[in-house]
DNA sequence: ACCCAGAATGTTAACGCTAACAGAGCCGAG
DNA sequence: CTCGGCTCTGTTAGCGTTAACATTCTGGGT
């Protein structure tokens, strides 16, 4: 119908002709410029509707230098934590009118992070969120490409970038103090890999709480966050008679620990109390339901977008921000008074 | 340094001047056009390196009409299944040189899916993968926007779009036959929400297997995939004395069932055998370790990209494809001979 | 009646790239 | 030695939008 020939999608000029105005006026309508007569505006809108016009965002991005796309770099989005964080990021970004382009890393080396950063800046993203829980990833942020605003999630001291994170130290402290308050002499720990900042933070909080209470800190066992590694550490712990309380650095490993204890006939919480970390949806239904530390991943994702947008929109003032989200204790049935 | 003034990133013309050639020759080098003298090529490459030039993909996309970006629409990427699928998609897409722009839906209505589709086509994606396990989402695909190639994952009969999915019926059958082969008289089921195609498929497979064995099919209980709903269904089942085998439509609900049975003193697998579905990383460490049906989400993601790229690159021939990935039984300790 | 500010619109020029064509140089066949 | 046909390179013209400037049209103050 009309003069629009072929199947080529209509462009601004087509709308302009249809409405009997210049393409610039169409642009003004689209961008809600105030100086357009409301009658003209209506006529243009009508033409837009009639032709089914949609503005070409690529052309727009070329001239405005803003793609309204944010990049997200994350490690293994299959895991609950990263997945929830990325979800929060995506929701917040879209609510703010931004697209989200994602890169999931399988390995976490500096090279991989740098590649991902380059890749995204090539695409012309307006800003980047790096979910970088490993020390190596965080270090990669120290040398940013050029002027692309960046926010690190769980990024420790991430060089130039702003940081949004959960207070891991506080989480470790909460878990440990909870166990001590139940009358346990001391608290053992199954920690995460040493490359992970979160693991370090949780160890620090645990150590601090023990020290404050004047209790000895046993040598922590180390897992790799997987249920299997928790299972193996749990088997070691089961054979040690003086263990009455264990702080496991994440819920998945805690599941492995519960499994090992069950197999070895160690009753939880009667003989040993166990606290996890993360509060994954499953942990409420472990046997027994797991006392754990909740991290509000959604809040972390939302905050990271807030910080990033502030940085993008407030051009000059790029003061580094550091936003810390508090964790909370979720008491359930895996812990009991000694 | 050199003649490049200010902090403005270099463009093709800058490289051209530096190398003493025309910008078109630079373009040729970048696009690996054969007709460039190798000496010239080297000189251009040198200039590129010297200036740290990176080509502007937005400008490129404007003229080529290809953004090399794929859109992914998914429901709740917090869940293990969607998260793994999206991960597989992202890996495969990036390996093929495509960016991935993601939209996570919180609600699954047709409107939401259509909005997401519009949103992504506005951005100028070259193709879209919709992870649409619900009937309503699949229906939304029936009315596609315009010429954007689309692939549905778990999309049943998704109108025009190609489909990649796991054979849910086969999965339901595998689970049921496994239990029957262990000597159970019949198999109960806790199914997923009726809006989900996957839930329907699993019910169909279960029913088919029972029918083939000439056994009665009890009325299935319905959950919403969450551990809690499994827990509640499990409590009902625990009170029924003739239940010896239960097929639970996903692992999370199976966890809830195990929890309920444990509380009620029903021993698994001595009194009741339980089979789950998905093989999430945790299920090997449930108490007892869960027999389940594994879905290869990674393969689904990879295949969906293969199909999509075939559709994008082979312009005219848009024959609908349908690719089915087989599930497999993972026998563990939650099932035993009657 | 006149002028001027401001509103409303139009015209032109980028943005940074690739496509299409044009031209220069070179080789071997006739 | 001339011509056709290669290879290599340059020139020009868009892609569809917004920005900047130019122009026309109002309406009120003098």
B325 forms beta bridges with: B166
Q: Answer whether B86's CB lies under 8 Å from B70's CB.
A: no
Quick check: A113 and A142 in contact, CB under 8 A?
A: no
Annotate B211-235 with b (16+ C-beta within 10 A) or e (fewer): eeeeeebbebbbbebbbbbbbbbbb
A216 SS3 class = coil
User: In this predicted structure, what is the pLDDT of residue B157?
Assistant: 65
Task: Evaluate the omega torsion of the peptide bond into residue B273 and state whether it is cis, within 30 degrees of 0.
Answer: no
What's the gap in Å between the CA of B177 and the closest CA on chain A?
28
Q: What is the Cα B131 distance to its own chain's centre?
A: 5
- Confidence band, pLDDT 50/70/90 cuts, at residue B144: low
Of B195 and B179, the one with more pLDDT: B179
Rounded distance in angstroms from the CA atom of residue B193 to the C1' atom of nucleotide D29: 74
The bridge status of strand B292-294 relative to strand B328-330 is antiparallel
| Residue-range domains of chain A with CATH | 12-55 (1.10.260.40), 65-166+297-324 (3.40.50.2300), 168-295 (3.40.50.2300)
User: Can you tell me whether residue A328 is helix, strand or coil?
Assistant: strand
Give how far Cα A250 sits from Cα of A63, A155, A199, Å: 47, 18, 9
Which among B55, B78, B252 has the least Cβ separation from residue A83? B78
Beta-carbon contacts of A306 under 8 Å, excluding residues fewer than 6 positions away, are A92
- Give the H or E element holding residue A121: helix A110-123
CB contact B51 to A (< 8 Å): no
Q: For the residues A41-51, what does the mean pLDDT come to?
A: 96
User: Would the CB atoms of A9 and B282 count as touching at under 8 Å?
Assistant: no
Rounded percentage of chain A residues whose pLDDT exceeds 90: 79
Mean of the pLDDT values across residues A276-294?
97
Residues 61-90 of chain A in contact with strand C via CB under 7 angstroms = 62-63
Tell me which chain A residues have a C-beta less than 8 angstroms from the C-beta of B100.
Answer: 101-103
Rounded CA Rg of chain B: 26
How many other C-beta atoms lie within 10 A of the C-beta of residue A111? 11
CB pairs under 8 A between A and B: 134
Which residues contact residue A286 at a Cβ distance below 8 angstroms, ignoring those fewer than 6 apart? A254, A255, A258, A334, B255, B259
Spatial distance between the Cα atoms of A102 and B170, rounded to a whole number of angstroms: 33
For the stretch B153-166, pLDDT in tens is 987 665 678 899 99
Q: Verify whether the Cβ–Cβ distance A285 to B231 is below 8 Å.
A: yes
Q: What's the pLDDT band for A4 if we cut at 50, 70, 90?
A: very low
* Residue A229: half-sphere exposure toward Cβ, Cα within 13 Å: 16
Q: In percent, how much of chain B has pLDDT > 90?
A: 80
- Where is average pLDDT lowest: A13-27, A116-130, B129-143, B274-288? B129-143
Query: Average pLDDT for residues B232-255, to the nearest whole number?
Result: 96
pLDDT digits (tens, 9 = 90+) for B97-128: 999 999 998 877 777 888 898 889 999 999 99
DSSP state, residue B277: S
Q: Name residues whose C-beta falls within 8 Å of residue B266's C-beta, 6 or more positions apart in sequence.
A: B238, B272
Q: How confident is the model at residue A276 (pLDDT cuts 50, 70, 90)?
A: very high
Q: In whole angstroms, how large is the CA radius of gyration of chain A?
A: 26
Q: Which residues 25-84 of B interface with strand C at a CB distance below 7 A?
A: 27, 30-31, 55-56, 59-60, 62-64
């Amino acid at each position: 119908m009309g003069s629009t020939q072929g199947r080529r999608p209509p462009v601004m000029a087509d709308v302009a002709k249809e409405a009997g105005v210049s393409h610039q006026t169409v642009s003004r309508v689209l961008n809600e410029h105030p100086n357009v007569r409301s009658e003209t505006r209506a006529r243009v809108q009508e033409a837009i509707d009639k032709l089914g016009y949609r503005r070409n965002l690529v052309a727009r991005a070329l001239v405005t230098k803003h793609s309204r796309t944010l990049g997200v770099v994350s490690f293994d989005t299959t895991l609950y934590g990263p997945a929830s964080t990325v979800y929060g990021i995506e929701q917040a970004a879209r609510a703010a009118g931004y697209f989200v382009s994602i890169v999931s890393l399988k390995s976490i080396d500096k090279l991989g992070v740098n590649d991902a950063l380059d890749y995204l800046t090539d695409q012309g993203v307006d800003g980047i969120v790096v979910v970088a829980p490993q020390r190596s990833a965080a270090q990669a942020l120290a040398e940013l490409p050029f002027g692309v605003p960046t926010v690190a999630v769980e990024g420790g001291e991430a060089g130039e970038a702003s940081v949004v994170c959960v207070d891991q130290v506080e989480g470790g402290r909460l878990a440990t103090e909870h166990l001590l308050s139940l009358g346990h002499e001391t608290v053992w720990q199954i920690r995460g890999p040493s490359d992970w900042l979160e693991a370090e933070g949780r160890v620090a909080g645990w150590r601090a709480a023990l020290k404050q209470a004047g209790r000895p800190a046993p040598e922590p066992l180390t897992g790799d966050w997987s249920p299997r590694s928790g299972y193996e550490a749990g088997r070691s712990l089961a054979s040690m008679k003086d263990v009455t309380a264990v702080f496991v650095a994440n819920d998945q490993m805690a599941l492995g620990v519960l499994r090992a204890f069950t197999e070895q006939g160690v009753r939880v919480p009667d003989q040993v109390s166990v606290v996890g970390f993360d509060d994954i949806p499953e942990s409420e239904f472990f046997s027994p339901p797991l006392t754990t530390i909740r991290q509000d991943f959604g809040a972390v994702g939302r905050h990271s977008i807030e910080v990033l947008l502030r940085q993008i929109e407030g051009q000059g003032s790029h003061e580094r921000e550091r936003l810390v989200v508090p964790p909370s204790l979720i008491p359930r049935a895996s812990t009991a008074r000694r």
